[in-house]
Amino acid sequence: MANNKYLDYPGLQRLVENINKKYAPIQAIVFQSTVEDIAALPDLTTVKAGYMYNIKTGGITTEDFVEGAGHIVTDGENIAAVELVNGYEVIVPAASDDPRALGYYEVESVNYVNVTATLADDANPKALGLYEETLTPGTYVLTEDETVQDGKAYFEQVKSYVLTEDRLPVAGHTYYKANTGMKWDILGGVFDLEGRYLEFGKDFPQKPESRMVNGRTFLFMGEDRKVYTFVEEPTGRPTENGYFEGVFAIADTTNVVNPKQVPLYEQTEVEHYSAVTPVGTENPKTEGWYERTGSGTEVDPYVYTATEDTTLDTGKTYYQKDASTFIYARTTDAEVATGKTYYTGTFTASEDTTVDPTKQYYTESVLYKKGGIYEYDATAKEWELQSSGGAEVESIPLKDIDDLFI
């Protein structure tokens, strides 16, 4: 594959989209380079949403930043070019246009917010385009007041917009085009190419001393996910311990393309045994009791075997099999496996003040599981890991990266 297919922006954008689909919930972001400081960032008119830079030496932001001027950028910070909506204007699509494909919006809701308390004494409500409520509650009209009237409430009209789902113009629908502008954004998370924030937390891989230099394009891939771990022996007050309760149900996989992306879970049965106190006349075999071997360590775990004793052996401890519990782990299957049962799972913070023996509890943790900054080596025809988030970070398998191009 030609080197420039990896390094031109449209090619990388397609790569990013396909990585996000195939390796979900892993996400991919295009890194342009490392720059020496804020002043070395390129002009905003030359970048596209999703371009990312690593700043070697920090500094102070300007008005070109989402955060505004005067904010501190630390050494090694990651900064992205983001496209922000500065307003909407009515657009009249042609009869053959596809409003959804063109990215047109429709008004989702209209609200009126009272701004009386924030108006200056010399404000002009009419010039500000403010509204006043009519005698009919909930009905508003543009005010004609050019000075603030004592005791009168003024309202600002606030509209929210949503991308239209119309594939052809619909009579009676008003469509809007978003007016956008580029800004730099200091990253706690990262900005993806579809305009959503992906939370990678503060452990986002950054390594200014890596071989990221101007003129070379890099690819970041990483995963930040919540993991729920089954609590085998819950104690204390679940609500204070931060326990979660999991609710699982068999999933309908009829229309599921990628079980990992949904996400779906797989079930593992966990058997439980407890020691019994014999009266003295029981037949252990008939009672269905078990004997235990092993030390209970990871190297030598407990093993329970149905006893063959027909009379009590006072030198032994017998065990009875209790009701099993189940652990649900997020599946790693990218395709639905034939004959396998998947489960949907939801987790909510427990409100129990005492442990309920009929429930299963889980702890929540956010693991920065995988991540790294890669550069394509045209000679070796593979992506090389240049920097990662630390020794615990696993590199991501990209052996079939070519297949992601369509």
- Using one digit for the tens of pLDDT, what is the confidence trace for 306-342? 999 999 998 999 999 988 877 787 787 878 999 999 9
Largest CA-CA distance found in the chain, in angstroms, rounded: 100
Q: Assign 304 a pLDDT band (cuts: 50, 70, 90).
A: very high
Domain residue limits at 143: 88-178
State whether 147 and 201 are in the same domain: no
State whether 236 and 338 are in the same domain: yes
C-alpha distances (whole Å) from 80 to each of 47, 198, 351, 373 are: 10, 12, 40, 15
Domain edge (last residue) among 156, 178, 200: 178
State whether 374 and 343 are in the same domain: no
pLDDT at position 390 over 60: no
pLDDT score, position 17: 61
Question: How remote is the C-alpha of 30 from its chain's centroid?
Answer: 18
DSSP sequence for 18-38: HHHHHSTT-EEEEEEEEESSG
State whether 160 and 279 are in the same domain: no
Calculate the dihedral angle through the C-alpha atoms of 68, 76, 45, 180, rounding to the nearest 10 degrees: -50
Length, in residues, of the chain: 406
Domains in the chain, number: 3
Query: Helix (H, G, I), strand (E, B), or coil: what is residue 224?
Result: strand
pLDDT score, position 259: 82
The winner for highest mean pLDDT among 24-28, 88-92, 202-206 is: 88-92
Span 80-109, average pLDDT: 86
pLDDT score, position 174: 95
State whether 54 and 154 are in the same domain: no
Query: Helix (H, G, I), strand (E, B), or coil: what is residue 114?
Result: strand
What is the distance between the alpha carbons of residues 241 and 278, in angstroms, rounded to a whole number? 36
State whether 68 and 193 are in the same domain: yes
C-alpha distances (whole Å) from 254 to each of 328, 335, 337, 338 are: 21, 12, 12, 12
What is the distance between the alpha carbons of residues 7 and 20, in angstroms, rounded to a whole number? 18
Query: Helix (H, G, I), strand (E, B), or coil: what is residue 263?
Result: coil
231 within 8 A of 364, measured Cβ to Cβ: no
pLDDT at position 156 over 80: yes
272 within 8 A of 336, measured Cβ to Cβ: no
Span 153-158, average pLDDT: 93
State whether 151 and 209 are in the same domain: no
C-alpha distances (whole Å) from 45 to each of 11, 266, 321, 341 are: 20, 48, 70, 51
DSSP letter for 296, please: S
State whether 168 and 276 are in the same domain: no
State whether 131 and 35 are in the same domain: no
Average per-residue pLDDT for the chain: 75
pLDDT at position 253 over 70: yes
- Using one digit for the tens of pLDDT, what is the confidence trace for 95-106? 999 998 888 899
pLDDT at position 247 over 80: yes
State whether 263 and 328 are in the same domain: yes
State whether 11 and 94 are in the same domain: no
Domain edge (last residue) among 178, 213, 243: 178
Q: Which residues contact 393 (CB under 8 A, 6 or more apart)?
A: 205, 368, 369, 370, 371, 372
State whether 217 and 132 are in the same domain: no
What is the distance between the alpha carbons of residues 140 and 55, in angstroms, rounded to a whole number? 49
- Using one digit for the tens of pLDDT, what is the confidence trace for 7-66? 334 445 555 565 555 544 444 555 555 677 888 888 988 876 656 676 777 889 999 998
